[in-house]
Structures are given as structure tokens and as C-alpha cells.
């Protein structure tokens, strides 16, 4: 009997606690998550399709955010409604079909779970879509049509994204990374969500003011690392500006240099409830940026490929890194330009097997991958790779050498093989893949630390490669993301624009107030 009573009381308590939990849940804000991210070059002949986004749906999307993991306190503060999220490697313009499909799937999912107190809009901001200007601005307008104007939208972006007036007008909170390379990417997304939660929980709602300054500057990412001046001090001023009384967040966008639209330029935004402070902080951040514009230089010494190879061969320290920067796939290059590897293989210094070792990362070549698999490790292979997408600078490269490695299962490359030609180890992939980490090389049996020269399709070196380099030169090679912007055929960006137009007058850097969404 005693046990029965205890069990009965226990059951009652359980029900009460479940009810309490349910009612607490009913009081929690409802927050949707949506957004797709890509950086896409309109100067590349490549196109990006839907599969490239590796879209995640519903609860699977939550796993992308460590700050919303099962045991995280943040998870308990809202009812989360993740819809669709996707992240593609940079590339060519997204096809209209892929864009419409991803947007419509997002909108359909949003319609099913209305209403929302908040929406976390997680985007990059440099997506180009064939035949459509300002896709992120278009996307947020279509989201607004579904969720209405009461929902508070918090947008998180890459500092290489573009902020059109339309995007600024339809979002309520907005921020971007403060570090390049983007070591603070997840921290930025978490801040965007934290700000959203705080505005909802405190009942303060949308910030009253959004100050916006358009800065007529367009620079490549490889000149604007926050590790060195002047990017370092320009970005160091963002956090202090964001903690001023009356300010919610502050951000500076460098913008994306390889798309040709009126929105491609630098922007500063500061949001908050104190009109005078948000305007003052935005103007100051913009002014510092403008005043230091002439100090931006490439983050590494630059030169032609020929100069880079000559210096690397003469260098006393190794590994000597060379960035094949014009075809950097993580900036939007096709990633299959063969110009650089063709030039390297022409260089007699590398023609013998015991010559100076050079690792080349990488070139897509599905046909050659097949041949290498058929030949097997240790055997000879002969075939062509690259230039399937971007053949403007060189035709497919002829590789005749020995297969030294075959690896399966990489998320991006799918299959990777290494072909040794002379003293050059060429990484050939089934699909394009960026090589940013030491393990990307060691898993293929390559030892970049012991190599004489490592050539990577990349701009500035990612942290692990940067730490490994004995010396480094950024080669100004041709491709869809040519670092020499003045060689690119811009037609639609706003003019005058630094550094294209010489002797520019000081532009109007006063902060404009963007209307609060729905007003
Ligand atoms: Zn970026």
C-alpha cells in the first residue's frame, strides 16, 4: 500500500512537472533558423547547383551550431524551429533554379510553423545568382512576406558579404565576423542569436536605430586580413563601438570584390536604441576605414609565378609556400584552372624524380582519378586533368607519372589521388576541394613540412598552413578571383570607387538611418 501511495504521489508530481515544463515551453519565444551561404564570383565561368549547398533540414540543422547543442543553456531559452540551412564552397554564380528551389523550400517550411518571435538569418552575403541582383536582399523580403513584420530578424554574415539597403531595411539586428581569417565565425553566429534572445526576453524588441554608412572602397580579402595593419586596427575598433551604452552591435563589411553589382563595396552598420551614439560610432568606424585606405597591401609579398618559383628554389628555408591566388576556390575561383601547374611542369628544375620536391594542391580531374585507380598505387598513369570549367588561361594539363596515393571518402573531393611527375606531387581530385589543413596532406601520405615547396590554390594562408610555412609568396596568377582587381572587367559597381578611380574626393561618410522593418 505504502508503495502504491508513493507511486501515486510520484505520478502526480511527474504530471505536474511535465505540465510545468510544457507551460514554461509555451512561454518561451519561438525562433526560426534559415539561410544559405556561398561566395560566388561573377568573373568565373563556373555555376553552382543545389547539391553544392549540402542543405540540412529541420532538427539536423541545429547540429551545425555548437552553441545550440543538447546540453547548451541557450537551447533551453527558446523553442527552435530550424528550417533549411546550407553552406556551399565558394564558386561560380548559383543557378536561378537552385536558388529558387532552396528559397521555396525554406519558405514552405517557415509557413508550416508560424508564428515566430524571432528568426536567425544565417547567410554569407556574397551569393551571386544568375539573372538576379542582391539575392540575400530578395531572400529576406520573401521571408518577411511569410513571417510578417513583427518577427525580429537577426542576420549573421561574413565580413566579405555585401549589405544592400534592402537587406539592412528588412533585418532588425545585423552583424558580421570581426576576424579574417574567420576564426570568430561561430562566435559571431552565437552573438547574433544572443542579441536576438536578449531583445525578445527583455521585451525591448527591435532596436530603434540602424545606422548605415556606405564606403566607396572595394578591396580583395588578401589585402584586408585583420592580422596585420590597417585591417587590424580598423577591426579592433568594432568591439569597443559595440559595447557603448545604447548600442547593440557594430560591424564592418569589407564586401566581396569578385562580383559586379552596385552593392559590392564596404559598409558599416551600428544598431541600438540611442540615435546619436549609433550614428556617431558608425561614422567613426567608416571614417577610420576611409582614412587608412591607402595603407592596404597584400598580406604576403606578391609576385608573378615565375618570381615565386625562382625565390622558392633559391630559398634556404623550407617549406616555401606559394599561393596560386587567382583560382582560389575558397574565394570563388573555379578551382580547375591549369595555368599554374602547367607552368610548374614546364620548369626544368622539377623534371627529375630527385629534384626539389613540390606539392601541388590541387586540380580536379575525374577521368585521371579513374585511370589512377585502375593503375593502382606505385604504377604509371597518363592522362589529363583540369580546365573542364575554366579553360580561359590554359587547356587541361597533361600528367604522366606515378600514382603514390589513392584516398576515398572526403566530403568535398570524394576521391583524391596523388600523381608524382618528376619531383612534383600533384593532388588530383574527383571534385574540387580546398587544402587548408595539415591533415589534408598527411592523409594522402604527403609531408608538407618536409617538402621544399608547397603550392596551394588559396589566397592568404589558413592558420595551420601559415604556422607551417618557413616562407611564403602570394603569386598573382590568373583565374576567376584574380587578386589584381584592376584587371577585372567591372561595369556595374558604383563609381567613383577606391582604388579604381584615382584622386577621389572625400565621400559623404555620415551615417544614414535605415527604416525599422515594417515601418
Ligand atoms: Zn570571408
| 410-421 residue pLDDT tens | 999 999 999 999
Cα 255 to ligand 1 centroid, rounded to whole Å? 9
CA of 333 to the centre of ligand 1 (A): 14
Q: How far apart are the CA of 18 and the centre of ligand 1, in A?
A: 45
Report how far apart, in Å, the C-alpha atoms of 275 and of each of 149, 173, 176, 244, 280 are.
22, 15, 21, 12, 9
CA of 161 to the centre of ligand 1 (A): 7
* Ligand 1 center to 473 CA (angstroms): 21
Ligand 1 centroid distance, CA of 90 (Å): 10
pLDDT > 50? residue 2: no
Strands 471-475 and 302-303: parallel
Q: What is the mean pLDDT of residues 41-67?
A: 94
433-450 confidence digits (pLDDT tens): 999 999 999 999 999 999
How close is the Cα of 122 to the center of ligand 1, in Å?
A: 14
Task: Report the separation in Å between the CA atom of 157 and the middle of ligand 1, taken as the mean of its atom positions.
Answer: 9
Give the residue from 405, 93, 406 showing the smallest Cα distance to 260: 93
The percent helix, strand, coil of the chain (3-state, each to 5) is 35, 25, 40
| Interatomic CA distance for residues 198 and 207, integer angstroms | 11
Q: Which three cell numbers stand for residue 235?
A: 577591426
Q: For 258-315, write each residue's pLDDT tens digit.
A: 999 999 999 999 999 999 999 999 999 999 999 999 999 988 899 999 999 999 999 9
**From CA 387, how far away is CA 372, in angstroms rounded?**
19
In 3D space, the residue among 127, 95, 94, 96 whose CA is nearest the CA of residue 256 turns out to be 127
**What's the 158 CA to ligand 1 centre distance in angstroms?**
5
Instruction: Give the DSSP letter of residue 367.
Output: H
Average pLDDT over every residue of 182-188: 97
Cα of 30 vs centre of ligand 1, distance in Å, is 30
9, pLDDT greater than 80: no
As a whole number, mean pLDDT of residues 128-146 equals: 98
Ligand 1 centroid, distance to 463 Cα (angstroms): 14
User: Separation of 38 CA from ligand 1 center, angstroms?
Assistant: 10
Amino acid at each position: 500500500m505504502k508503495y502504491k501511495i508513493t507511486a501515486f504521489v510520484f505520478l502526480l508530481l511527474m504530471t505536474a512537472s511535465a505540465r510545468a515544463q510544457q507551460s514554461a515551453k509555451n512561454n518561451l519565444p519561438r525562433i526560426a533558423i534559415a539561410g544559405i551561404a556561398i561566395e560566388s564570383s561573377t568573373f568565373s565561368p563556373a555555376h553552382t547547383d543545389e547539391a553544392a549547398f549540402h542543405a540540412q533540414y529541420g532538427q539536423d540543422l541545429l547540429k551545425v551550431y555548437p552553441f545550440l547543442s543538447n546540453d547548451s543553456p541557450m537551447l533551453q531559452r527558446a523553442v527552435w524551429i530550424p528550417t533549411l540551412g546550407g553552406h556551399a564552397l565558394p564558386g561560380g554564380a548559383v543557378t536561378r533554379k537552385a536558388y529558387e528551389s532552396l528559397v521555396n523550400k525554406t519558405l514552405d517550411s517557415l509557413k508550416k510553423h508560424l508564428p515566430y518571435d524571432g528568426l536567425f538569418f544565417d547567410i554569407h552575403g556574397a551569393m551571386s545568382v544568375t539573372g538576379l541582383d542582391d539575392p540575400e536582399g530578395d531572400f529576406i523580403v520573401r521571408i518577411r512576406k511569410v513571417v510578417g513584420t513583427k518577427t525580429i530578424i537577426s542576420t549573421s554574415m561574413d565580413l566579405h558579404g555585401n549589405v544592400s539597403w534592402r537587406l539592412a531595411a528588412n533585418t532588425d539586428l545585423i552583424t558580421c565576423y570581426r576576424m579574417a581569417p574567420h576564426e570568430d565565425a561561430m562566435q559571431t553566429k552565437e552573438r547574433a542569436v544572443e542579441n536576438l534572445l536578449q531583445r525578445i526576453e527583455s521585451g525591448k524588441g527591435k532596436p530603434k536605430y540602424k545606422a548605415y554608412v556606405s564606403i566607396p572602397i572595394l578591396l580583395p580579402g588578401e589585402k584586408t586580413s585583420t592580422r596585420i595593419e590597417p585591417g587590424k586596427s580598423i577591426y579592433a575598433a568594432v568591439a569597443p563601438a559595440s559595447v557603448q551604452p545604447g548600442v547593440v552591435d557594430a560591424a564592418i563589411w569589407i564586401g566581396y570584390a569578385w562580383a559586379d553589382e552596385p552593392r559590392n563595396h564596404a559598409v558599416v552598420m551600428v544598431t541600438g536604441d540611442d540615435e546619436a551614439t549609433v550614428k556617431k560610432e558608425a561614422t567613426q568606424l567608416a571614417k577610420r576605414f576611409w582614412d587608412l585606405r591607402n595603407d592596404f597591401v597584400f598580406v604576403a609579398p606578391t609576385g608573378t609565378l615565375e618570381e615565386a618559383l625562382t625565390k622558392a628554389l633559391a630559398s634556404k628555408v623550407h617549406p616555401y609556400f606559394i599561393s596560386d591566388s587567382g583560382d582560389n576556390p575558397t574565394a570563388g575561383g573555379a578551382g580547375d584552372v591549369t595555368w599554374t601547374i602547367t607552368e610548374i611542369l614546364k620548369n626544368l628544375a622539377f623534371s627529375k624524380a630527385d629534384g626539389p620536391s613540390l606539392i601541388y594542391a590541387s586540380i580536379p580531374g575525374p577521368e585521371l582519378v579513374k585511370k589512377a585507380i585502375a593503375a593502382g598505387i606505385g604504377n604509371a598513369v597518363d592522362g589529363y586533368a583540369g580546365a573542364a570549367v575554366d579553360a580561359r588561361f590554359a587547356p587541361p594539363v597533361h600528367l604522366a607519372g606515378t600514382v603514390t596515393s589513392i584516398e576515398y571518402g572526403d566530403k568535398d573531393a570524394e576521391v583524391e589521388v596523388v600523381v608524382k611527375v618528376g619531383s612534383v606531387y600533384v593532388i588530383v581530385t574527383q571534385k574540387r576541394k580546398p587544402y587548408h589543413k595539415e591533415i589534408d596532406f598527411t592523409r594522402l601520405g604527403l609531408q608538407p613540412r618536409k617538402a621544399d615547396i608547397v603550392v596551394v590554390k588559396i589566397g592568404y594562408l589558413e592558420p595551420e598552413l601559415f604556422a607551417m610555412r618557413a616562407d611564403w609568396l602570394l603569386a598573382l596568377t590568373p583565374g576567376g578571383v584574380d587578386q589584381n582587381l584592376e584587371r577585372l572587367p567591372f561595369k556595374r559597381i558604383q563609381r567613383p570607387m577606391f582604388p579604381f578611380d584615382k584622386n577621389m574626393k572625400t565621400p559623404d561618410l555620415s551615417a544614414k538611418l535605415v527604416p525599422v522593418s515594417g515601418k
